[in-house]
Structure 1
Amino acid sequence: MNVPSVMIKDVPKAERPRERLLKFGASHLSNQELLAILLGSGTKNESVMALANRVLMHFEGVQLLKNSTIEELTAIKGIGDAKGVVILAALELGQRMNQFKPGEKYVIRSPEDGADFVMEEMRHLNQEHFVVLFLDTKNQVIHRKTIFIGSLNASIVHPREVFREAVKRSAASIICAHNHPSGDPTPSREDIHVTKRLAESGKLVGIELLDHIVIGDRKFISLKEKGYL
């Protein structure tokens, strides 16, 4: 026997997500309540809260929802294009806000500073991204560029591409970073080989490779600290 879903209109006004947000602030709402506000409405036979809960259960929480696609969302009964694009827009806006850096240039004084600069953006990526930070003489980040996406390989991550951009940006030095989708930042033999090749090329053109940081899930390894630079 199916138990009918409690519709939002049947929930006391003070307990509805929008009213609770207005009264207590967004930080006091559960993931289900926040998602329900984005969805706006449920279906004929299901409340918006029940629909929100079903979406979260489908993705096993917000972590996998973060990387969802419109096709995955609209495959869920009750989620059409309109609701799907609202969810994706909210996820993208959240990611951009996390990545936003203040107008004042970011100064990198340590491997931790370099890792912090890219961690939130890179730790959830499903593919390896090779990123270069270009610094001025004060170790301030003047530019950031993704050079390559895919498995790290010395024949693909070519020093020419890295240092061409460094010269173009008048960089005094660079810091490289790439992620391990597994979450384990332990450097591979190829990681070490690429690092040494870039360091040697940097010496030739007079632009120092300060570090190569391998990003895991909330952890990192500095190849400089490990003695490979």
Structure 2
Amino acid sequence: MHSPITEWPKHEQPREKLRLYGAKALTDAELLAIFLRVGVKGKSAVSLAHDLLHQFGNLPRLMTCKPTEFIQVHGMGLSKWSQIQAAYELVKRSLEEQLGQESVFSSPSQVKEFLQAKIGALPHEVFLCLYLDSRLHLIECQELFRGSITQTAVYPREILKEALSRNASALIVAHNHPSGNPLPSEADQELTKILFKALQLVDIPLLDHCIVSGSGFFSFSDSGLMKIEPK
């Protein structure tokens, strides 16, 4: 692993392995090494990639790390951090664009993948609104509120105003739990009821409330919690 990649057997070199067998055949470290491009004296790009994954624990934390944290790893600089950030942003934009071209119900996993990529690894809590048109295609994903590591102040009136201004026909809301536990709190359940009923008044259905963490995902709709009975 520490010898230059050019000295490895051809079929074991990350770029050649990707070409022969496809991206899924590569480990996280091998994929990361392709972006790093070169190693440093005594370490291949794959070895450096292993160092990064060890330092940050997993890919989501690596992708959302600050440049000051990244460059603390030997052999890493702002150029490599920028390359990884650019690749990560392309993934998020690609997933968001797909949601704009297809109904959110044609591939529910795309919503999950998009939300996990966008907010799953953030160290602070954010609240997103996904505004949908009459075909349930994404009009826009908006970060509407941002809070501390424990809570976000969410104002239903603002959500209604933003949804109406975009002529949204339906809505999905989402927020993250930096604690790592995606299960809804009592406050999350109460907020969902308030939003559901408020949006009903303007004939905009709330289709789902998703909670995302670094390694977990919870959907109110999938769990049957969107069947809210009027009082």
User: Which shows bigger deviation, 93-102 or 163-172?
Assistant: 93-102
| Residues 1:76 and 1:225: Cα distance change in structure 2 (over 3 Å) | same
What is the TM-score when the length of structure 2 is the normalising length? 0.75
Q: Distance in 2 between matches of 1:207 and 1:184?
A: 32
More displaced, 51-60 or 72-81?
51-60
1:55-89: CA deviation from partner (whole Å, max 9, x where unpaired):
22222343432322222221111112222222222
The whole-number CA distance in structure 2 between the counterparts of 1:13 and 1:117 is 33
1:19 aligns to what SS in structure 2? helix
Structure 1 residue 9 displacement after superposition: 4.2
SS of the residue corresponding to residue 75 of structure 2 reads coil
Q: Distance in 2 between matches of 1:32 and 1:129?
A: 29
Matches within 5 A, 1:84-103: 84-101=81-98
Q: Please state if 1:70 is matched with 2:67.
A: yes
* Residues 41 and 149 (structure 1), Cα distance of their counterparts in 2 relative to 1, 3 Å cut: same
Q: Give the 5 Å matches for 1:36-185.
A: 36-101=33-98, 104-108=101-105, 116=112, 119-120=115-116, 121-150=118-147, 152=151, 156-185=153-182
Alpha-carbon offset, residue 140 of structure 1: 4.5
Aligned-residue offset at 1:103: 5.2
Cα drift, residue 117 of structure 1: 7.5
Q: Which residue of 2 aligns with 1:215?
A: 211
Cα gap change, 1:143/1:21 in structure 2, threshold over 3 Å: closer, same or farther? closer
Equivalent in the alignment of 2:12: 15
- Contact 2:95-2:110 at 8 Å conserved across structures: no
Q: Give CA-to-partner distance per residue, 1:39-70, whole Å, 9 cap, x none.
A: 22222333333222222222234343232222
**Distance in structure 1 (CA, Å) of the matches to 2:109 and 2:87:** 28
- Other structure's SS at 1:219 match: strand
Q: Say whether residues 1:195 and 2:206 are aligned partners.
A: no
Q: What runs of 5+ residues in structure 1 fail to find an aligned partner? A: none
Q: How many angstroms apart in 1 are the aligned matches of 2:135 and 2:10?
A: 56
Q: Is the 8 A contact 1:131 1:178 kept in 2?
A: yes
Q: Deviations over 1:179-220 (max 9, x none)?
A: 32334333323223333433443344x234434513241332
Shift of 1:158: 1.8
Q: CA RMSD in A?
A: 3.4
Asked if 2 retains the 8 angstrom alpha-carbon contact of 1:198 and 1:209, the reply is no
- Distance in 2, matches of 1:190 and 1:116, equals 22
Look up the match of 2:24.
Answer: 27
CA contact (8 A) 1:115 1:220 kept: no
User: C-alpha distance in 2, partners of 1:114/1:14?
Assistant: 32
1:105/1:142 contact within 8 Å kept: no
Q: Which of the pair has more CA radius of gyration?
A: 1
Runs of 5+ unmatched residues, structure 2? none
Identity among equivalent pairs (%): 33
